[in-house]
Amino acid sequence: MSAAMIDGKAHAAALRAQVAAAGARFREELGRPAGLAVVLVGDDAASGVYVASKARATLEAGMESFTHRLPASATQAEVLELLASLNQNEAVDGILVQLPLPAQIDETAVIDAIHPDKDVDGFHVLNAGRLAIGQNGLVPCTPLGCLMLLRACRGSLAGLRAVVVGRSNIVGKPMARLLLAQDCTVTVAHSRTRDLQSVVHDADILVVAIGRPLSIPGAWIKPGATVIDVGINRIDDPTGSGKSRLVGDVDFDSAALVAGAITPVPGGVGPMTIAVLLRNTVVAARRRAGLSPDAMLSV
C-alpha cells in the first residue's frame, strides 16, 4: 500500500471538539443550549440505531437533543404538523428528518416544510439554491465533511481536476458545487456516463458516491490522486464465514496501491457526516440568534 490513509474518525473527533467549544460559547451568550430535533418515521432497526447515535453525539457536544418517533403508518399531514411545531419551537435550532421515508409520504414536501434556517441537512430547495449560486446557507453534511477532509489533505484545491461519481441531491450535486466553489475543474459522472474509466483516470480528486460496492478498481485511478469514498455497503464476507462486512464504492485494496491518499470504510466519510451535522446545528443556532459566525466552525 502506498496511499496515505485519511483518518475520518480522527478528523471527526477534532471537529466535534471544536463544535463542543462553540456550543459552550453559544450557551454562555444565549443562556440556552443549541438544540437539534431528529424525526424518525417508522421502526426500521438500522435507522433507529443511527438516530440513537446522533442523539448521543448531540448530548456529548453539549447540545440539547429532541427525538420524535412516528409510526410507519403515519400520514403526511401528521409529519407536516410535527414539523410546523418544530419550526415554531424556539429551543430547536436544527431539524433533521431521517430519510428514506415510508412510501405514503412525499419526501420533497416534507423537506420543503422544514424552515430553511433550521434545515441542518441542507436539503431544502432554498439551501440547494443558495449553494448553487454561492450564497451563505446550510450545506449538506456528507459533502461538506468530504470537503473538509480534502482541504485537510491537500490545502488549496484551486485548479485541480475533480471528478464526482454520482449525481444525487444529497451528495453528488452539492459535492460538485462545493468543489467548483474551491476553483476545481469539476466533472460529474453517473450511471449513463460513457467510458467512466477514462473520466475517473483524469481525476486529481475523486469523490465516489454511487451506492454500489467495490465499483471503482485501483487500475482506473490516477497515481497520486486523492480518493474520497462515500459509499457504505454491507456485503457478505467473501471468506464465506457467514458474517457481513462494510465496504465502500471503491475497491480499497487495489486503490490504495495507486492513490496518494484514500478514505477507508468504515472510519472515513461516515463519522464526518455526524460531526458536520452537529457543526451545522451550532451554525444555524448562531445565525438564528443574530450572532456573528464562530470562526472555529469555518471551512
Ligand X SMILES: Nc1nc(=O)c2c([nH]1)NC[C@@H]1CN(c3ccc(C(=O)N[C@@H](CCC(=O)O)C(=O)O)cc3)C=[N+]21
Restricting to residues 201-240, which ones interact with ligand X according to CB under 6 A?
232
Give the Cβ contact number of residue 41 at 10 Å.
26
Query: Given candidates 65, 273, 280, 281, which one binds ligand X under the rule CB under 6 A?
Result: 273
127 binds ligand X (CB under 6 A): no
- Rounded-to-integer distance, Cα 146 and Cα 141, Å: 9
141 binds ligand X (CB under 6 A): yes
| Number of residues located near ligand X, criterion CB under 6 A | 16
Restricting to residues 30-59, which ones interact with ligand X according to CB under 6 A?
50
Is 168 flagged in the annotation as binding? Answer: yes
Query: Given candidates 55, 266, 287, 288, which one binds ligand X under the rule CB under 6 A?
Result: 266
Restricting to residues 178-207, which ones interact with ligand X according to CB under 6 A?
none
166 binds ligand X (CB under 6 A): no
Q: Is the dihedral of CA 151, 253, 246, 170 positive or negative?
A: positive
Query: Given candidates 64, 93, 121, 251, which one binds ligand X under the rule CB under 6 A?
Result: 121
CB 121 to ligand X: min, Å = 5
Query: Given candidates 203, 250, 274, 283, which one binds ligand X under the rule CB under 6 A?
Result: 274
278 binds ligand X (CB under 6 A): no
Question: CA torsion 119→121→124→129, rounded to 10°?
Answer: 110
Helix (H, G, I), strand (E, B) or coil at 162: strand
Residues that are catalytic: 54, 98, 121
Query: Cell 441537512 identifies what position?
Result: 121
What nine digits make up the cell of 230? Answer: 462515500
Query: Given candidates 114, 131, 270, 282, which one binds ligand X under the rule CB under 6 A?
Result: 270
In sequence order, what E strands does the chain have?
Answer: 4-5, 35-41, 64-70, 94-97, 161-165, 185-189, 205-208, 226-229, 233-236, 244-247, 261-262
Question: Which among 268, 283, 271 has a CA at the least distance from the CA of 63?
Answer: 283
Is 192 flagged in the annotation as binding? Answer: no
Please report, in range form, the residues annotated as the binding site for NADP(+): 166-168, 232
Footprint on this chain of ligand X (rule: CB under 6 A): 50, 96-99, 121, 141, 232, 246, 265-267, 270-271, 273-274
